[in-house]
Structure 1
Amino acid sequence: MLSAPRLFTGYRVLSRSYFHLTILFVFLYDRGLSLPTVELTLAVYGAALALAGPVTKPLAARLSLTGAVATGEWLKAAGLVLLALPGGLPVAIAGQIIAALGFSLASGTDSALLAEVCRRDGADARAWEGRSGSLTFAAALVAGVLGAILYQASHTAPFYLSAAMSALAALTAPLVGRGLEPAVKPTATAPKDTPAQRAKGPAYAAVLRWSAYYTVVRAFVLALFIGFLPYLLYLRLHVSLPVFGLVLGSYTLSGYFTARYGRAAVDRFGARATATASASLAGAGLLILLWQPNTAGAAVATLALGAGVGAVRPVAVGAIGELLADRPAAEKAAALRANEARFAAVNTLLILLAGLLLDRVGFPQLLLGVVVGYLALAAAAVLALPRTAAAETPAKAPVAV
């Protein structure tokens, strides 16, 4: 029988097999939507993810970790099916919202689930986080390229395949958490956590600093991947769909290696140095794209962007996991979901910016502004990271993010 961490890795691979993601921009544009409307529809996903807390938080509180992850995957599958159906903009927006709610419920919660099964089984959660994260990049590479090829035969097939993968992931999640004891619910007499109490905890400040790094690097890079690069490749450079899929797929190829070996880099150089390197690689990708906005430049830039963002999740989630090592599983899951909400809010603003200004300002000018903004914010986020290892930071007060 496969161990729980191995089953979790299988779940992650299924969950992140996004056949539709590389062609989502093309799919919406080919359906007759204007460029601003396409970018708006893409931004709806991030906005829903950022605002999902009031919906997903009470639902997650009622469910076990495995129940929350499985429910999130079913919602993702439903949203992807809606996206593929005819019905125009309202149906596409509804699909984006439902898929985002599902991702909000599952993402972060799945890392908390991994931490719990590793704690029970005596396994290294950080190592399995990195291993599973790297394999999700590999899965996304294969799925993304295949999705671009399949799109030429059927515009909806990539969406149905992604939905099928989410459904399989939903069926796998209960196997991962099989045998876990139910989380202990807080008692009515437990002291309430207030902002004042949280502010006194050094662990809370450290969590927020790691969250800022996670938010800035991922939000800018994924905005490029979702909103800017497809515009450049499909509408300005007019590359073929197989080339389109290969260029965007190179993002996941380089991300695979940095996610796979990010843990080794942390062990050798420290989390802060590894985070600095990942943010710098992403910045290099932006500068390359600004310098050479052509197919070759986009391919090299995408490799650098993927290499930069690949290490972000294992490094940040690992650091936050150590800071909250003694906290209840539900609290860890809430902190990681808050990470995703912050990232989604910034990502949404950037994609909306693309939709409003790409046709008016022009790609080079807008990209220059994005590069300057990223370099400033990423430098501030990296400089603010804790200088000591996460595990060395005291964590005695309750932390709720």
Structure 2
Amino acid sequence: MRSASLDGLLIADFGRVLAGPYATMLLADLGADVVKIERAGVGDDTRQWGPPWVGDESTYFQSVNRNKRSFAWDLRDPADLQQARELVARADVVVENFLPGTMDRLGLGYDAVREINPDVVYCSVTGFGGENNLPGYDLLIQAVGGLMSITGPEPGVPTKVGVAVVDIITGLHAAVGILAALRHRDRTGEGQRVEVNLLSSLLSALANQTSGYVGAGVVPQAMGNRHPSIAPYEVFRTGDRPLVLAVGNNRQFASLVEVLGVPELAGDERYATNTQRVAHREQLVRDITAALSAGSADEWFEKLTAQGVPCGPLNDIADAVALAERLGLNPVVEIDDPRRDRPVRQVANPIRLSATPASYRSAPPRLGEDTPAVSTC
């Protein structure tokens, strides 16, 4: 077996729910030995989050916990807490996403761990950063962080994104921060603290929308499936079902109207530039919709894609996985596990490395199945 990028790296993972566990699973896929510390008798909250279930196991928990060992400890118990301290003393990385102050009270905060493990990389994931003792649930952050204000069919109908996207974004930032700190440690021998929070991660990920406010004072509003700065860039009706067009430049627009049989639109001064198309969006949508009504979504998808026009039908998750499979992306992996009567099917790690690819060594662990009997963790 080829060595992995992070072989030999020990991560003590006190993360729960999604942001922390997603970050550590990415690192585990790249070879790190991740020890997941869970509450004895209960485990990670997501073990109870279902349906859907596979047997008695939550697919939510399974989605972010492969390639890990599970230690079930009661950190209020002195013996278990001592085991946890021995683990962090040896760990290269510690990850936690408790409310601020919790790890300090347990004697497992950054300052305490640094005393016994000076070169540790210690990553804290919080909802609002610093000592702000506020719970960081994804829906809450989507609301207070502005995401719901720009999501939905129109202003005044705030809508959450259909997945806990802020947790995922924050987990990605955590993984990048950890890798940057490890690179610094490789060069200098010096560990450090990495801090990420959900609110800051969301504001960064809102990208052009936050930039529009910070740079120009423009407060964006919900526009349904439209884009504030590009047209045509939304969902259109066709002769049978919806089709997305994502036309980002003049060349693509000229190809679009040529295929639709209305090439004269390319010479219309109202549509000569993207700025003009945005300004005359309503009439542009009417013109394009009228042309699209002459064919089906699949017909237009085939014809437009052949001419380099970005477009696609509205898929559900099953359709999306099937598309990835047709494109040869191998989106699903099966992990054999002697403890289960069938392989565990998982979404593949999206990172492709030519020399040290992601590996799938073990299925998500049962609660506490790896807990050491004595202090030999």
Short-chain TM bin: under 0.3
State TM-score, norm by structure 2. Answer: 0.28
State TM-score, norm by structure 1. Answer: 0.26
Q: Greater strand percent: which structure?
A: 2
Q: Greater helix percent: which structure?
A: 1
